[in-house]
Structure 1
Amino acid sequence: MVKSVFLNFIFPPPASVVVWGMTVLSFMILASGFLSEIRGKNLNYSKFWNANPTAQRQIKLSGKTGMLLFYTPAFLAGLVSFWIYPHEGVRSTILKSAVTLHFFKRDLEVLFIHKYSGGMILDSAIIITLSYFLSAATMPYAQHLTHGLPEPPINLLYPGIVLFVVGIIGNFYHHYLLSKLRGKGEKEYKFPKGGLFGLVICPHYLFEIIIFYGISFISQTLYAFSFTLGTTFYLMGRSYATRKWYVSKFEDFPEHVKAVIPFVF
């Protein structure tokens, strides 16, 4: 029953072993990342760049270099997909545009918006870079395999565009607010204010989750939904760890401010 209902929202799963393998692998890696973050085994970037004892003995990158490494290969994968899969219909074009725009925006934020207080461990940067790159390469390929197939009974393309636009605007706005917390030369962390920071400590993650649900609705492939679900779990774990960090650093941390979902989590 549940399976038949779900199939109304997606294209028939492809026979491709590669896509099936990437679907399972992406979800398992991201879900395991959720468990690691909850248990305090954080990936070493942002506030947690030196959280693990072994981090002091590993190769370090600057925050800006590490974050450019995160997003640039994924942006290039999205860009190249226009050349590899040209003229495959409106849905495919919008999907490739959304994937490319999301990672291009992140590169622009790294270059012109973000302010950095710490470094990043190379091992963590490689894990995140591969995750984003493989998703940006696999989503257009999975969409390519649907070319010529009947559309899903329930069309989520236009709701997906709305979700994507809301997500990308909200994500940018809260990154901008974070960048304004510190003056020139300041590196200490402060309690963020404005926007949805009065309800959750990681609204930028909330809107990133919305971005990927928008992309999933645009795509309507099993891979896109699987990656988005895994991303949701990982970012929930990361935001939980971030809230725990803020509680440990700020004695007056408001109890009602949740991690990523207002009033819930």
Structure 2
Amino acid sequence: MLLFYTPSFLMGLASFVIFNHQDLRFVMVVYVLTIHFFKRILEMLDAAITIGLSYAVSTATMIYAQYISQESPKPSIDLKYVGLGMFLIGITGNFYHHYILSNLRKKGEREYKIPKGGLFGLVICPHYLFEIIEFIGVSFISQTTFAFCFVVGTTFLLMGRSHATRKWYASKFEEEFCKDIKALIPYLF
């Protein structure tokens, strides 16, 4: 949403320069539109900065941990190729389920729907499941303590989010929602 609001805000700012010396009504319209989209950006910015910084710090730390581990003895069991396979499965499954979600509503539709296709018949958040598989793959490639801790933290975060999502779907679609659909892990959770 931040990407959608920023151009409108910038157009408002540019209007002050492009259309200077206009009447009061014109200036008022430009001001109120610019202020509106600036407020929208501020609303989104808090979450965007928090999430963006969290991912940036985690990525930088994981890369740094990998860098400093270069001098350490190599792991006795090399998991990098298993990790690459898991990463490729995870990113493919995550992309596929995000694609299903992006096509859930037709143009102009606003109502919520229960996702169907892929693993959505078994779990409500298969995209989270595959994201976890991606990061397990990264951890296997890396074989550092930090990468392992990152996977554990990400897994617990996504477990909580998927549980809340399942709860929301069950309350929103009391009749249509299949009670057998799990939150994250087919048949288990």
TM-score higher than 0.5 here?
Answer: yes
Judging by fraction of residues, say which structure has more helix: 2
Corresponding position of 1:236: 159
Distance 1:63 1:183 in 2: 23
Quote the RMSD (CA, aligned, Å).
Answer: 1.8
Are 1:259 and 2:183 an aligned pair? Answer: yes
Q: Which amino acid aligns with 1:250?
A: F
Q: 2:71 is matched with which residue: 148, 159, 167?
A: 148
TM-score by length of structure 1 reads: 0.55
Number of equivalences: 152
> Hey, which bits of structure 1, 4+ residues long, moved more than 3 A?
63-66, 119-122
Contact 2:97 2:118 in 1 (8 A): yes
Provide the identity percentage. Answer: 63
Structure 1 pair 161–234 and aligned structure 2 pair: CA distance change class (3 A): same
Corresponding position of 1:222: 145
Q: 2:126 is matched with which residue: 203, 212, 217?
A: 203
Partner SS for 2:178 = coil
Question: Which stretches in structure 1 are left out of the alignment for 5+ residues?
Answer: 1-61, 67-118
Distance 2:156 2:79 in 1: 22
Corresponding position of 1:57: none
Give the C-alpha shift of residue 64 in structure 1. 5.3
Distance 1:125 1:194 in 2: 30
Contact 2:2 2:44 in 1 (8 A): no
Question: Which stretches in structure 2 are left out of the alignment for 5+ residues?
Answer: 6-40
Q: Which amino acid aligns with 1:140?
A: I
Contact 2:132 2:154 in 1 (8 A): yes
Distance 2:169 2:157 in 1: 18
Structure 1 pair 167–262 and aligned structure 2 pair: CA distance change class (3 A): same
Distance 1:156 1:220 in 2: 8
Corresponding position of 2:101: 178
Distance 2:102 2:2 in 1: 14
Distance 1:183 1:196 in 2: 21
1:102-125 CA deviation, whole Å, 9 max, x = no partner? xxxxxxxxxxxxxxxxx9743333
TM-score by length of structure 2 reads: 0.76
Corresponding position of 2:13: none
Structure 1 pair 193–63 and aligned structure 2 pair: CA distance change class (3 A): farther
Partner SS for 1:192 = coil
